[in-house]
A = this chain, B = another copy of it.
Amino acid sequence: MSDLARALLNPRRIALIGASADAARLTARPQRYLRRHGFDGTLFPVNPRAPEVLGEPAHASLHDIPGPIDFAYILLGTDAVEAQIEACAARRIPVACVLADGFAEAGTEGAARQARVLAAARAGGVRLLGPNSMGVVNLHARTALTTNAALEAESLPAGRVALVSQSGSMMGALLSRGAARGLGFSHLVGTGNEADLTAGEVASLLLDEPEVDVVALFLEAIRAPEALAAAARKAHALGKPIVAVKLGRSPFGAELATSHTGALAGSDAAAEAFLHAHGILRVTMLEALLELPPLLAGRRAPAHAHRAIGVMTTTGGGGALAIDALGVLGVEARRPDATAAAALDAAALPHHGRLLDMTLAGTRPERVMAGLAALRAAGDTDLVLAVVGSSAQFRPHDAVAGIVEAAKLPGKPVAAFLAPQAEASLRLLAEAGIAAFRTPEGAADAIRAFCDWRAPREAPAVDPPTVTLTGAPDEAEARALFAALGLPSDAAVMGNDPPPGLRYPVALKILSPDIAHKTEIGGVMLDIADEAALRAAAAAMRARIAAAAPAARVTGLLVQPMARGLAEAILGFRRDPEVGPVVLLGAGGVASELHRDIALRLAPVDAEEAHAMIAEVRALKPLAGWRNLPRGDLDALARAVVAISRLAAVQAVAEAEINPLIIGREGEGVTLADALLVPSRAPAPVAG
Contacts and interface: CB of A to CB of B under 8 A. Distances in A.
Given A318-B173, A320-B220, A354-B255, A328 B393 contact: no
A176 B393 contact: yes
A599 to B, nearest CB: 14
A251 interface: yes
Nearest to A322: B253
A179 interface: yes
Contacts of A393: 149-150, 152, 172, 176
A394 B320 contact: no
Interface stretch (A83-91, A606-614, A617-625): A617-625
A218 B252 CA distance: 32
A149 B180 CA distance: 24
Given A318-B173, A354-B256, A327 B249 contact: yes
Given A252-B332, A390-B149, A419 B323 contact: no
A389 B250 CA distance: 22
A421 interface: yes
A313 to B, nearest CB: 9
A259 B176 contact: no
A173 B284 CA distance: 24
Given A354-B256, A595-B597, A619-B594, A321 B286 contact: yes
Contacts of A408: none
Most buried by B among A177, A251, A317, A590: A317
Contact of A173 (B173, B248, B420, B619): B420
Interface string A323-336: 11111100011000
Contacts of A626: 590
A488 interface: no
Contacts of A389: 149, 169, 172-173
A132 B247 CA distance: 44
A355 interface: yes
Given A252-B332, A354-B255, A594-B621, A420 B150 contact: yes
Interface in A615-650: 618-619, 621-622, 626-627
A439 B320 contact: no
A169 B316 contact: yes
A218 B259 CA distance: 41
A315 interface: yes
B316 A622 contact: no
A269 to B, nearest CB: 13
Main secondary structure of the interface of A (DSSP, over half): helix
Contacts of A220: 317, 320
Given A169-B390, A420-B176, A420-B177, A439 B285 contact: yes
A167 interface: yes
A523 interface: no
A332 B316 CA distance: 37
A364 to B, nearest CB: 14
Interface string A99-123: 0000000000000000000000000
A394 B152 contact: yes
A441 B249 CA distance: 13
A323 B319 CA distance: 31
A168 interface: yes
Given A169-B317, A286-B441, A327 B252 contact: yes
Contacts of A325: 250, 253
A252 B170 contact: no
A287 interface: yes
B394 A259 contact: no
A259 B168 CA distance: 48
6 contacts: A252-B333, A253-B325, A255-B353, A286-B321, A286-B441, A595-B595
Given A249-B327, A256-B319, A286-B321, 14 more contacts: A149-B391, A165-B317, A168-B317, A169-B390, A170-B315, A170-B318, A173-B389, A250-B326, A251-B327, A253-B320, A253-B328, A256-B324, A259-B353, A441-B441
